[in-house]
Amino acid sequence: MKTYFRLLSFAKPIEKFAIPYIIFTLLYVFFSTMVLALLGPLLNTLFITDHAAQTKVVLSANAPSILHMQAMFEYYLQYYINNYGSWGALKFVCGVIIAAVILSNLFRYLSQRIMENLRLHTLLNLRRTVFNNIMDMHLGYFNNERKGDILSKIASDVQLVQFSVTGTLQVVFKEPATMIAFLITLFVISAKLTLYSLLVIPISAFVISRIVKRLKAQAIAGQQSYSNMISYLDEALSGIKIIKAFNATDFIKKRFNDENEKYSYIGRAIARRQQLASPISETLSVTMISFIVLYGGYLILNKRSDLNAGQFIAYIALFSQLMRPAKSISDSFSNIHSGLAAGERVLGLIDEKPLIKDLPDAVTVTDFNSGIYFKDVSFAYQEKVVLSDINFTVPKGKTVALVGPSGGGKSTLMDLIPRFMDPQSGTIFIDDKDIKHITATSLRALMGVVNQESILFNDSIYNNIAFGNPNATQAEVEAAARIANAHNFILETDDGYNTNIGDRGTKLSGGQRQRICIARAILSNPPIMLLDEATSALDTESEKLVQGALNNLMKNRTSLIIAHRLSTIQNADIIVVLEAGKIVEQGNHQELMNHNGVYRKLIDMQTFSDD
């Protein structure tokens, strides 16, 4: 129930939907019950004898109150018999039935529209919350999670959850209200026969509960299997070139097909249990109706009941409809099990910590005056310490390079500055302000980022460059492209700046993609640049073009660089050497070469490798 009520909170303000839904549902139940209850008077009127038709009953001057529906209806039925005969009475009964059917279906339609609006409202809120929460996660979270699992929770699980929430509301209100209305009418027609008839309900409920008992566990297994399939699909599409290059197509096919078969097996097991509920419920209800016909017929034939033929047929029709909401409840419970299992997975995603969120006292910054300062900064992924007691300064207008062996913590250190992650201890200052007390939006607006991997979107070149500045003019975009040495090759593409670059920029070369990324950073015109091995994946010719673009980019800016090729950072103002998460050396190129330490060894190793 705790899971359900948390999921229900996404339907707020629920009273906006619940109140009209309750009103329309009650009206629907009332008129739909009336239709069945009028079968008795209809049949009695239809088969009334001529002698009885001519018999007039003296009616009171005042008709019964509308609160006594049956008495009021019988009063007017007799009135039509008295004044218009059997034919007039029959037209009256048929007219009332038609009106009741029209009103019943009108209110059913209105209640369904309200429920659909609630369903879509819940889906909107739930999906928005899940997606927003994912976007607020620090980068470390995505290193440990499979993208396919996240995708399945947003796309598939959320869909199951909102059907579970709205379906449960119908189960707890509409169907019980319908059953209660039918039961009251049955008791009014014959209390004795109804008490006997109700034996089928606990029997049916017991049998169905045994069927759906294991549905939740199977639903959880099915959702996890579906997540695995989506993950395999995403990995296959992302790595299609490598898969083919290593002749791993058969392995990838087998892995996906094995999971596909597992998912299908679980789906069949769930379907078997869900589909058993309806036939068993229907079999029990038909069996019980047969016994009611036998028992009721026995009472009528032996004159132990005051039921007439019309009332008895109406009773059987009502009882047969009583099992419809009971069946609906049993079917809904099997679906609710799946929905709640999916809900637990979705809520787990919402509850994931830590998040990168603005503190209540966070302020907006618009300028950058003196520098970036690291004071006693430490960071760990779970138990693995990546950075320990980091202290150094990036002065305004200077270029600072981070170098060191792989795994030393360079990229992690850079990711802490725009708060992609937060350190476990220590403080990072922009000027004199702790970055945790600066709004994330204004903090990141001070920075341009160019990574080793060119992150581009399946859109035009123009929109990719203007990604961080959608209000940029054509002239501004072209100016940024010129500085990034990209303008000439852009003009050579099919549609120039309107050329679509494909998924992740696959229609462009590595160097072209990287220059588009640099143009994007230039257009935002940030005072701080963060460059993470921006040229390491390029060939020599592309590297020269990109390096020229980077040099243009870093003019008159504060830059923090991670470089794979140490020759590209020898002119940096400060070089910080990281090893095993600690700063082991600091200085300019010449000072570090004279120190004859880690940096000198790295230079010598790279020089030997190049030779």
What is the model's pLDDT at position 390? Answer: 95
What confidence score (pLDDT) does residue 51 get? 43
How is residue 95 written in tokens?
């007219």
Domain range annotation of the chain: 2-350
Structure letter (DSSP) for residue 157: I
Flag the least confident range among 9-13, 163-167, 288-292.
163-167
7 CB-near residues (< 8 Å, 6+ apart): 126, 161, 164, 165, 340, 343, 347
pLDDT at 589: 92
Provide mean pLDDT across the span 243-262.
Answer: 84
Residue 349 has pLDDT above 50, yes or no: yes
The pLDDT value given to residue 62: 66
* Confidence band of 50 (pLDDT split at 50, 70, 90): very low
Residue 230 reports pLDDT greater than 50: yes
Average pLDDT for 50-71: 56
pLDDT exceeds cutoff 80 at 1: no
Residue 279 has pLDDT above 70, yes or no: yes
Q: Where are the beta strands (DSSP E) in 230-291?
A: none
Extended strands (E) in 34-166: none
Please compute the mean of the pLDDT values over residues 289-317 and round it to a whole number.
73
Summary count for the chain: helices (H), strands (E): 24, 10
**Does residue 519 register a pLDDT over 90?**
no
Look at the domain 2-350 and name its fold. ABC transporter transmembrane region fold (1.20.1560)
pLDDT attached to residue 209: 63
Segment 555-580 mean pLDDT? 87
pLDDT above 90: residue 227: no
pLDDT confidence of residue 107: 93
Higher-confidence residue of 361 and 335: namely 361
Range scoring the smallest mean pLDDT among 44-53, 184-193, 350-359, 529-538: 44-53
- pLDDT value of residue 434: 94
CA quadruple 242, 248, 251, 257: dihedral positive or negative?
positive
Instruction: Quickly list H helices, 145-239.
Output: 147-152, 158-169, 175-189, 191-197, 200-211, 215-238
- Between CA 106 and CA 31 the distance in angstroms is 10
Mean pLDDT for the stretch of residues 16-37: 85
Mean pLDDT of the chain: 80
Residue 307 pLDDT exceeds 50: yes
Segment 528-541 mean pLDDT: 74
Q: What percent of the chain has pLDDT over 70?
A: 82
Q: Which two three-digit tokens encode residue 391?
A: 């202290």
* CB 226, CB 152: distance < 8 Å: yes
In this prediction, residue 49 has a pLDDT band, given cuts at 50, 70 and 90, of very low
- Mean pLDDT of the 86-98 span: 78
User: In this structure, are residues 277 and 334 in contact, taking their beta carbons and an 8 Å threshold?
Assistant: yes
